[in-house]
Structure 1
Amino acid sequence: MTVRVLVADDQDLVRTGLSMILDAQPGIEVVGQAVDGIEAVTMARVLRPDVCLFDIRMPGMDGIAATRELAGAGVADPMAIVVITTFDLDEYVHGALKAGARGFLLKDAGPELLVQAIHAAANGDALIAPKITARLLAAFSDSHLGRPPVQPVEPLTDREEQVLITVAQGRTNAEIATDLHISLSTVKTHLTSVMTKLGARNRVEIVMWAYETGRVTRTKT
């Protein structure tokens, strides 16, 4: 299946460049380009793309606000959003992920990682730029010190705990299936159960909870 993508960036060269990179990939089609967050939200609701690729700094409505409109808490049918920015700032990443983004990239990530992030989001996975993943998730965990983490409505099973940890380690559904010697459909079933028990909207929030509760910790370098 072809992944339909909406690209939003206020800089013409960047927006055009991203669209050209994606359109050149097999299995990806750019169905629209928006110049700001307001236009992006409007176009997304009309076009219903499989994935939205949003810059953060845009006039009128920034990428985080646009993400919240399309994938935030209370949205009945949240869209898959990947946020991309030039600025490696923790508050941007935390804001985007809390708003419901399924991925976060820096603009120097390169075409290969960009394409991976689009496919991951379309498949319900999440991809965060590797150079910032550990630091940001650990920082998110640190910011919650002293506050009790949200408790699941029902205890996680042993297998759900295993799936949770592998997700937090950045493994895809296919890799989890191989690692745990279970089928892909079983992985998806466990993930759905984990999200329901945690009240999580996506894989990113599962990862945040894993760090917040100490199930996964930052590797010291």
Structure 2
Amino acid sequence: MVIADDERVVRDGVRLMVETQPDLTVIGTAEDGDHALRLATSLQPDVLMLDVRMPGHDGLWVLARLAERGLLAEIRVLMLTTFDMDEYVDEALAGGASGFLLKSASYEEITAAVRATAAGDGALSPSVAGRLIRGYAARRQADRTDPDDLKRLAALTDRERDVLALIGEGLSNAEIAARLVVSEHTVKSHVSRLLAKTGCRDRAQAAVLARRVTH
């Protein structure tokens, strides 16, 4: 993964946290948006952890440039910020980010989010997931009855709809498994199928869809 943040203490701190995990590796760090874009383009990491606000070109600018170059299918972007203002979440998710974490997230939340993002599941910090998704969806109330959304929902089985609704509540696979009294492996299978059927790229997009069609 590559970490981009204008504060060295954050870059070094996150790197230390991530590299304590045997399955996670940091292959580069960047201090601004231009450097982040160059590294992401040349190294093509599985995950780019990107600070929203940086001097010069910010993280949202980098996200937009990666989308323009068609790189978001290979590079999963996890936005990291001290700010939880809804417009950042709105623009990040709409722009193709796979997840959104506050810098106040715990060590466990950050490493779990990196793994989930790398796996294509996407991640939203558990402490803010429900509020952020609700805020994102509330600004799109006009889309709640979008015929395309209804067609996507109709393609799902009843159990897949249950799983989608729980994703919309910000639950992890383990929490969904406990709620539905099934195995975590079964939940992962349901998630994979519903992502394919709805055309959602990852869990973050599925969560937004869930809030539109189930609330």
TM-score, normalising length: structure 1 = 0.81
| Partner Cα separation in structure 2 for residue 50 and residue 166 of structure 1 | 27
Q: Judging changes above 3 Å, is the alpha-carbon distance between structure 1 residues 133 and 211 closer, same or farther for their aligned structure 2 residues? A: same
| Partner Cα separation in structure 2 for residue 190 and residue 130 of structure 1 | 21
| Partner Cα separation in structure 1 for residue 12 and residue 116 of structure 2 | 22
SS at the partner of 1:125?
Answer: coil
Q: Of 81, 91, 114, which aligns to 1:118?
A: 114
Q: Of 29, 49, 64, which aligns to 1:53?
A: 49
1:201 aligns with 201
1:151 aligns with 150
Is the Cα–Cα contact under 8 Å of residues 129 and 169 in structure 2 kept in the other structure? no
- Quote how far apart the aligned CAs of 1:139 are: 1.4
| Partner Cα separation in structure 2 for residue 127 and residue 207 of structure 1 | 10
Is the Cα–Cα contact under 8 Å of residues 72 and 100 in structure 1 kept in the other structure? no
How many aligned residue pairs are there? Answer: 210
Q: Judging changes above 3 Å, is the alpha-carbon distance between structure 1 residues 152 and 36 closer, same or farther for their aligned structure 2 residues? A: farther
SS at the partner of 2:151?
Answer: coil
CA RMSD of aligned residues (A): 2.6
Q: Which runs of 5+ in 2 are unaligned?
A: none
- Quote how far apart the aligned CAs of 1:189 are: 4.9
1:211 aligns with 211
Q: Deviations over 1:12-38 (max 9, x none)?
A: 222222222222333222110011122
Is the Cα–Cα contact under 8 Å of residues 177 and 183 in structure 1 kept in the other structure? yes
Q: Which runs of 5+ in 1 are unaligned?
A: none
Q: Judging changes above 3 Å, is the alpha-carbon distance between structure 1 residues 196 and 152 closer, same or farther for their aligned structure 2 residues? A: farther
| Partner Cα separation in structure 2 for residue 192 and residue 73 of structure 1 | 26
1:89 aligns with 85
Q: What are the residue-to-residue correspondences of 1:37-186 with 2, within 5 Å?
A: 37-70=33-66, 75=71, 77-147=73-143, 148-149=145-146, 150-153=149-152, 155-173=155-173, 176=176, 179=180, 181=182, 184=185
Is the Cα–Cα contact under 8 Å of residues 151 and 198 in structure 1 kept in the other structure? no
- Quote how far apart the aligned CAs of 1:167 are: 2.3
Q: Judging changes above 3 Å, is the alpha-carbon distance between structure 1 residues 77 and 203 closer, same or farther for their aligned structure 2 residues? A: same
Is the Cα–Cα contact under 8 Å of residues 137 and 212 in structure 2 kept in the other structure? yes
Q: Judging changes above 3 Å, is the alpha-carbon distance between structure 1 residues 197 and 83 closer, same or farther for their aligned structure 2 residues? A: same
Q: Deviations over 1:69-111 (max 9, x none)?
A: 3357955734221111111211111111122222211112132
Q: Deviations over 1:11-70 (max 9, x none)?
A: 222222222222233322211001112221221222222211110112332112222333
| Percent of matched pairs sharing the same residue | 37
| Partner Cα separation in structure 1 for residue 60 and residue 167 of structure 2 | 24
Q: Judging changes above 3 Å, is the alpha-carbon distance between structure 1 residues 74 and 22 closer, same or farther for their aligned structure 2 residues? A: closer
Q: Deviations over 1:174-208 (max 9, x none)?
A: 55456463673x64554344234333221111111
TM-score, normalising length: structure 2 = 0.83
